[in-house]
Amino acid sequence: MNTVYPALQQSFAKMILSASGWRKVFAQSGSETDGSPELSAADCDSAFFAAQSFAEFLQTEFPAIRTVVIARDSRPTGAALLREAVTAFAASAAATSSDASATTDTSAAARAAVLAVQSIGIAAAPEIMAYARSVGAAFMYISASHNPIGHNGFKFGLDIGGVLDGAQSARLIALFTQKCAAAHQDTAAVLRTQVDPAQVQAVFEAEATHKQTALTAYQRFLQEVIADSKDAAEQARFFDGIRAQCAALSAAGKPFTLVADFNGSARAASVDRAFFEKLGMQLVGIAENAGNIVHGIIPEGKNLATCAAKIEALHRSNPAQAENTLFGYMPDCDGDRGNIIYWDEAQQKALILEAQEVFALSVIAELSYLHYRGNTGAPLAVTVNGPTSLRINEIAKALDAEVFYAEVG
């Protein structure tokens, strides 16, 4: 326990630290519903030490990784946390350079030991993961996923595009715990003074360029996954077929239309609109400015009512044109999950699928597709966690797949 910096100890004590991510209420008021951007001094230091810990973890355990990418979701405290993270990595680089100079080590290896830092600003979680994998970088993602607006947190991952495993996460948590326990009130402040402000500014000046590269990497990843092929020609054939169908519907005056309640999430700054419009689909966006969070973040229950109401309004205003306005979706703040709303023609209303129903449909679609393609030479399997509905077990049984259980996250 840190007795010389009690405010930091209190900040640390309130943080949930797990393999699936670290999080707490970062809003200065302590209220999870507070949408203000300000952080306390202790929370700024906590974020600084989290990033510093990850830098040291990478340098010690994964020295071959030479770049770290940082991004955030769209919640209000994210901007301040991102700046602290960039500053902490810059401080780590300054310390590494200083150590090399002190030992008169001017070798290429010593110079290469400094981590390069990139920021891509507001990005969806799958976006930063796809980008990190494409450029061989580790990543730090600032997000509290589906939790209320006053929360925020961190996810850490490697160059394979996935988060740290349980053992790796435990070692990083131990390092962070040690730093918070040993820190004095001016520890982070002293480290910040060693950073060249121009170095931090350069990271943010390059942000727009790296963001565009990240969007391209994510779009390529989506094309590969959706077309189920790494072959560019096969992908082109797959998506050309969709484009042809969408063009025919548009020519008939009944365009295929999706409704997306972005709710100011990170997906509003991702590939969604460009991806769908490139296929010839129409996208009706709600709260499409990242950061414009207008209702609850978790994509469940009443939070889906806005999207459902929009679908119904489109059908009332022009039933013929809205014939193919059949689906809507709402993502959570980091854009790695969401729920579906669909038009029920018999009831003449938009209905909301529950999260477990969406996952069940996804499993049915994936396993059925594998059978359709004849990809059943190897055993089929589905990985779930404890809270997953038992209907998945029934689906897997019907489609000759085995179910395996993992920890949440």
The structural domains of the chain, with segments of one domain joined by +, span 6-216, 228-353, 359-406
Q: What is the pLDDT of residues 50-92, one digit of tens each?
A: 999 999 999 999 999 999 999 999 999 999 999 999 999 999 9
Rounded Cα–Cα distance for residues 215 and 207 (Å): 12
Rounded Cα–Cα distance for residues 201 and 189 (Å): 18
pLDDT of residue 354: 85
Quick check: 174 pLDDT over 70?
A: yes
Domains 6-216 and 228-353 equal at CATH topology level? yes
Rounded Cα–Cα distance for residues 45 and 221 (Å): 35
The confidence band for 4, taking pLDDT boundaries of 50, 70 and 90, is confident
The confidence band for 97, taking pLDDT boundaries of 50, 70 and 90, is low
Rounded Cα–Cα distance for residues 348 and 325 (Å): 12
Average pLDDT in the chain: 93
Q: For 326, how many CA atoms within 13 A lie in the half-sphere containing its CB?
A: 8
**Closest residue by Cα to residue 155 from 167, 146, 164:** 164
Quick check: 311 pLDDT over 70?
A: yes
pLDDT of residue 331: 97
**What average pLDDT does the segment 145-154 reach?**
96
pLDDT of residue 355: 83
Q: What is the pLDDT of residues 207-261, one digit of tens each?
A: 999 999 999 999 999 999 999 899 999 999 999 999 999 999 999 999 999 999 9
* CATH superfamily of the domain spanning 228-353: Alpha-D-Glucose-1,6-Bisphosphate, subunit A, domain 3 (3.40.120.10)
* CATH superfamily of the domain spanning 6-216: Alpha-D-Glucose-1,6-Bisphosphate, subunit A, domain 3 (3.40.120.10)
Quick check: 99 pLDDT over 70?
A: no
The confidence band for 386, taking pLDDT boundaries of 50, 70 and 90, is confident
Parallel, antiparallel or unpaired: strands 257-261 and 282-286: parallel
* Residue 399 CB neighbours (<10 A): 17
